[in-house]
Amino acid sequence: MNGPVRAGDTVRLVARVAALSLHRPRRPDRRWDDFWRGVSQGSLAEPIIWDAAGAGHDETRSHLRAMADLMDTSLPMVDLGCGNGAISRQLTGLFPSVLGVDVSPEAVASARSAHARVPGLSFRSLDATRPAAAAGLAHEIGDANVFVRGVFHVLSRRRQASLAGSVEALLGARGRIYLVETNVPGGALSYLRSLGATGDRIPGPLRQAISALPKPGHFGARQRSRVFPASRWTLVAEGSTFLATVPMEPGGPPGNVPAYWAVLGRRPPGGSARP
């Protein structure tokens, strides 16, 4: 595209995104429950954009390998923000029990019905940005590991800190958190363009996400060190990765969004910041 054509396309793309965003529900937790209700009732019929890391997918395999190396796999695993539970189910291959937790009762209902009777797997609706609720859960299950995929980057700074407080309560002395979050360089427009959006057309899964979900942000090493300060947390490992997306067009190849992963544990009082 030459300069003026590109500028015209950008104006049209911005206008399209603004029009789609107008219909977003206001309260963040209602957004998620409305989204999952729309998915289960069929009014949101496009594939869920991040829902590509199910059984045998390269992304999930690489998480499981790193978890086997870096986490105590005798502990239970809590999948915070589990959505439809597809990845929670994969985690049962490595951990003795897996609890998928989601703020959306609709998500939990569909996870339960999709993964009924999987040994060691259960689901619960809970707002993971309420550390008191997480402390209650920690009291019930004892020290646990935590998995978070694609949740920090959609929360405000205040709620990110609250989510870290919940994680702290769940890990106890022995657990670790494994997080993977999208971390796309550049602004929102380059993110949209990398997934095939133009001023004339936004691919269906992306269009659905823009109209129904909170706007995603960046979450990389800088954000991690703010949310998990070295005074309280030990960084075990971190790196760049890709978060798998569904194909943007029917029959097309799956996509990949640049992402960040890290494993952390609570820092013991008087301990060092690295293991």
Ligand X SMILES: C[S@@+](CC[C@H](N)C(=O)[O-])C[C@H]1O[C@@H](n2cnc3c(N)ncnc32)[C@H](O)[C@@H]1O
Cα separation of 67 and 47, whole Å? 28
Distance separating alpha carbons of residues 201 and 263, to the nearest angstrom? 38
Binding-site member from 17, 75, 107, 138 for ligand X (CB under 6 A): 107
Task: With beta carbons less than 8 A apart as the criterion, state whether 208 and 46 touch.
Answer: yes
- Assess 149 for contact with ligand X (CB under 6 A): yes
Of the candidate residues 9, 72, 127, 238, the single one contacting ligand X (CB under 6 A): 127
Q: Residues 76-95 vs ligand X: string with x where CB under 6 A?
A: ----xxxx--xx--------
Nearer to ligand X, 213 or 234 (CB): 213
Please give the full DSSP string across the chain, using - where no structure is assigned: --HHHHHHHHHHHHHHHHHHHTT--SSHHHHHHHHHHHHHHTSS-SPPTTTT--TT-HHHHHHHHHHHHHS-TTS-EEEET-TTSHHHHHHTTTSS-EEEEES-HHHHHHHHHHTTT-TTEEEEE--TT-HHHHHHHHHHH-S-EEEEES-GGGS-HHHHHHHHHHHHHHHTTT-EEEEEEE--SS-HHHHHHHTT--SS---HHHHHHHHHSPPP---SHHHHHHHS-TTTEEEEEEEEEEEEE--SSTTS--EEEEEEEEEEEEPPTT--S--
Interface with ligand X, residue 178, by CB under 6 A: no
Closest contact distance (angstroms) between CB of 24 and ligand X is 14
- Cβ proximity to ligand X, 244 vs 267, nearer residue: 244
Contacts with ligand X by CB under 6 A: the residue count is 20
Q: Which is nearer to ligand X, 50 or 260 (CB)?
A: 50
Q: What minimum distance in Å lies between the beta carbon of 89 and ligand X?
A: 11
Establish if 50 lies at the interface with ligand X (CB under 6 A): yes
257 is a site residue for ligand X (CB under 6 A): no
Q: Which of 60, 90, 104, 223 binds ligand X (CB under 6 A)?
A: 104
**With respect to ligand X, which residue has the nearer C-beta, 107 or 197?**
107
Residue closer to ligand X (CB basis): 76 or 150: 150
Tell me whether residue 32 or residue 228 sits nearer to ligand X (CB atom). Answer: 32
32 binds ligand X (CB under 6 A): yes
We find the least distance from the C-beta atom of residue 274 to ligand X, in angstroms, to be: 28
Kindly list the residues in this chain that would bind ligand X in the complex (CB under 6 A): 32, 50-51, 80-83, 86-87, 101-104, 107, 127-129, 149-151
